[in-house]
Chain A
């Protein structure tokens, strides 16, 4: 197609509305991030003055910046890990199209549809020291159990990431199921003929062909949880002792305190973190697909 005919048949003005909205509501605020992170914008005074790197040095010197970064990354990695383990396990378990499996799949999709906030409140109730999980465990073990699932400065982050994975594992399951169905039947049959055990046939033939599904699931889980908020807010609110305070919780909290510049600074940090991580992650996963 020549350039002039393209101009006639696919006019650029079709891009207008989309780019106008993207510019105003997405690019411009992002650009503002790079400006207001270097000011003293707050709810306490009407003037906004540039302060250079003060916000960054403040957040660096009291350790908040690295703590929030570390927690966010650990949380994202744990969520990606659990969500994919659970989703993959479910897909393999429920692969055959029996009526029981279909019903089970529907059940695992309910949390995907529920609001993350609601899921958080449910687990907050379930995991109370005198809550149902401890009750069930106590019944099983024969003595009372009172584990503070959401009150531990080390392990609560892991618990919350499991909850996040619980909410989204149904989606990963669907995508792995779709991936499993794309593997042609005759390939596995052929391997079986050549004397491969079902186990071998699965891991050396079907699993590698799931690479696109893995890419999609790992990338969405990782990036989605880095931008997470609802589940952590509803279960722990960032506690205990801010040990689960991921970046968006920090942004929410400081924004509520009127410290807009600090919140903007963390928002910029999140932007840079995701921007820096996203492209290597996606590239590595894609490359792995090509090798396979």
Chain B
């Protein structure tokens, strides 16, 4: 990565006296009000009884029912099925988008000429242009893929290929051509060169792309609603339908318990790998 990770260099912009001493207090106050209040609202409401959570506030629950509420959502809210749906979509989508994206990016970075330039522009156009959600439904119906896992994965791969091609092409251009040529001298064909020379070098940029795309796909509800809504479940889709259905109306404790369960996997991954994730996200952005 081009950006040094945290803690590599401590650069103190020595602010003078009073302001510097007040700063830690400002930081604490800001974290407590801006982040603490909403996060506390989630936890405290998720731990209340239905009557207490009817109008959610910041008060302490009179009795902590967090575990009971989580268990109730887990069994009644179809979480295991939705979780499975989310995993079955995220994993293949990310694997395919990274594989196909890097293959294309390698060629687009290495070949010169007008055709390559046009193809590259087409390939990255999806970074800014919004996907046509309504007609995707029609197309999937014509292909017999409406409401299927394959259709959903295809749609996500189509949407996020541009991001991968963009990041990886930029990265491949910084990899010296001589490394490839050395392998070629030893008689390696393009597949060998790609798999054993290029792919290993792409690890940092692929890590960044993995994080971003997991984040988008895991939390997406809009595209999922159009493509698989009503046929399959993912965690956000399930939350959306359940919260919309009126089933959970006045059941804020269950909605918030659901939110905790749904956010937990990403938060755990983040807690374990935060340093890598932070340098990964920022690495691609600022050249």
Contact = CB atoms under 8 A, between A and B. Distances in A.
Interface stretch (B7-15, B75-83, B200-208): B7-15
A111 to B, nearest CB: 8
Interface residues of A, number: 100
Contacts of A11: 107, 190
B3 A24 contact: no
A14 B55 contact: no
B272 interface: no
Interface stretch (A63-71, A149-157, A247-255): A247-255
B285 A175 contact: yes
A25 B154 contact: yes
B16 A252 contact: no
Contacts of A233: 240
A95 B13 contact: yes
Given A25-B159, A32-B138, 4 more contacts: A15-B103, A25-B158, A33-B135, A100-B28
A100 B35 CA distance: 15
B266 A264 contact: no
B228 to A, nearest CB: 14
A9 B136 CA distance: 36
A115 interface: yes
A226 to B, nearest CB: 8
A259 B35 CA distance: 40
A114 B158 contact: no
A179 B143 CA distance: 46
B84 interface: no
B3 A125 contact: no
B90 interface: no
A230 B221 contact: yes
B37 A126 contact: yes
Contacts of B51: none
Nearest to A93: B27
Interface string A173-216: 01101110110010010000000001000100000000011001
Contact of B119 (A15, A29, A108): A15
B139 to A, nearest CB: 5
